[in-house]
Structure 1
């Protein structure tokens, strides 16, 4: 009799617990589907570790294999693409206020492009500031640069740099720079990044008043990015050219507010300092910009 009673009780427990178990598994599977839809691989790893259901684990592994294959195909496409393919970047347009050798308000426009493969990264930058008042140009400044990087590892890379500058109000009608050296990503995370690089450089400067100068310099630069919130980031770029007769220092601080997926508002402040500018010109120029950045 006792055996029959125990059997009946066990059967009752199973009948009650099976629907509960089935409901829990359905709930876990719905969470897995939501994580797959959002691409949350960290959540999927945690579920796979503790779920204890081979069917759910197999579903997660199948999705991870699909993602890995997709990433491998995208990387292969980048590696095989020609130089003019797969560039990504943004355009910048806005206004500025300057102080130092000139005090004025004008327009600024620029473009920033990046192309990346498994071993190579290319960065192209162009930025121009211009104002014309009463048929007189009161500010004319521009810089164009191309920087290829060869990645020795995830953080360590070699760089090259070709750059053209024009800033008549700092005393030069054109300045050309060629440089090459080594760089390292000191900090690399979703919230913060810090890159440093250094190497020799050759510079040729053509002065507004006539004459030119060519010299070998040492280049050191740092680029810092901090993600303050999902919509706000802070950037700080520093560079220094140390050479005989005149050193050049540049600082660019920027606060970026993301307005949409493709639109960002930026406030920036730039300082350019020449230790030995042409006679009659101030050593330091500053430039405040308010711009909109369009991603593409």
Structure 2
């Protein structure tokens, strides 16, 4: 790794100079200044102007450009190897990042309501593996009585097979007494595919699933089934500066998860719109549809929720 760091420094501090250079010093200085920015577009513009004004030195300018492109490739390769070496040497608790979001409300007068919505997502990305941990809670009291209580915890590892193909695993726990169950445990594994990369991005995944549901009436159902999932993200605009200290970057994204077994089919759809306000903080407006085809007890099949939360990324 030390050798790669030394190579990076040498490529930046000591760029190659063609032998028998004849280019005028001011022109060479102008090209060197452009190369020092490491901006390929800027180097091309400056080199094109230099070739127009110095037609006898076109070959030397082309050689300078070729050397710049070669150094850029070497720099990129060296940086990639340094990053990969750092990932290989990282400990279990290193390279974690994530997002936390929280929203709350209180109302008095004709109605007396209080509620909180909070979630945390932790992600660790390695060379081949990605580990994702998610947890969320929704709690609401109306007129002194609990009217909503939902908990979710999930762990999802992914292994990269190719740039687009990956294998996934999923272990998930849910609790929602108002939907009729004290605990619902889901385990799944299968394959996924990155349909769209960049912006927008879209990935799909599918595989067999095992689910155990513990109802509030004391009964337990265990079933084999199938899981299908979808993740979508799209940055609508690159950035819009509204005030001196506020940058807005608007994104939209959604997650869909379908688990079907012999007894019940559940569908969770989450669609959100986010706006970055400053340094890691974003606001998020989201709409959730939670459908269960055969809910326990007298619970309804479909729950929907619109929420506005503050999100912090780290």
TM score, norm. by length of structure 1:
0.81
Which of the residues 304, 309, 313 maps onto 1:286?
304
Q: Which has the higher contact order (CA 8 A, sep 6+)?
A: 1
Alpha carbons of structure 1 residues 165 and 80: separation in structure 2 relative to 1, 3 Å: same
The gaps in structure 1 that reach 5 residues or longer are 1-17, 98-103
| CA apart distance, 1:135 | 4.5
The gaps in structure 2 that reach 5 residues or longer are 1-21, 52-60, 107-112, 239-248
Are the counterparts in 2 of residues 173 and 206 from structure 1 also a CA contact under 8 Å? Answer: yes
Are the counterparts in 1 of residues 114 and 142 from structure 2 also a CA contact under 8 Å? Answer: no
How many residues in Structure 1 have an aligned counterpart in Structure 2? 267
CA deviation vs aligned residue, 1:157-198 (integer Å, no higher than 9, x gap): 110101111111111111111100000001102x21000000
Any idea what SS the aligned residue of 1:185 has? strand
Which of the residues 205, 210, 234 maps onto 1:226?
234
Which residue of structure 2 lines up, in the alignment, with residue 33 of structure 1? 36
Are the counterparts in 1 of residues 169 and 190 from structure 2 also a CA contact under 8 Å? Answer: yes
Aligned counterparts of 1:146 and 1:48: Cα–Cα separation in 2:
51
Structure with max Cα Rg: 1
| CA apart distance, 1:56 | 5.7
Which residue of structure 2 lines up, in the alignment, with residue 167 of structure 1? 176
Does residue 209 in structure 1 map to residue 232 in structure 2? no
Which of the residues 280, 288, 313 maps onto 1:262?
280
Which residue of structure 1 lines up, in the alignment, with residue 109 of structure 2? none
Are the counterparts in 1 of residues 208 and 225 from structure 2 also a CA contact under 8 Å? Answer: yes
Aligned counterparts of 1:96 and 1:134: Cα–Cα separation in 2:
14
Does residue 126 in structure 1 map to residue 126 in structure 2? no
Aligned counterparts of 1:84 and 1:148: Cα–Cα separation in 2:
15
Are the counterparts in 1 of residues 31 and 43 from structure 2 also a CA contact under 8 Å? Answer: no
Does residue 85 in structure 1 map to residue 94 in structure 2? yes
| CA apart distance, 1:49 | 8.6
| CA apart distance, 1:208 | 1.4
Does residue 43 in structure 1 map to residue 52 in structure 2? no
Aligned counterparts of 1:53 and 1:260: Cα–Cα separation in 2:
43
| CA apart distance, 1:113 | 1.3
Are the counterparts in 1 of residues 230 and 255 from structure 2 also a CA contact under 8 Å? Answer: yes
Aligned counterparts of 1:93 and 1:59: Cα–Cα separation in 2:
48
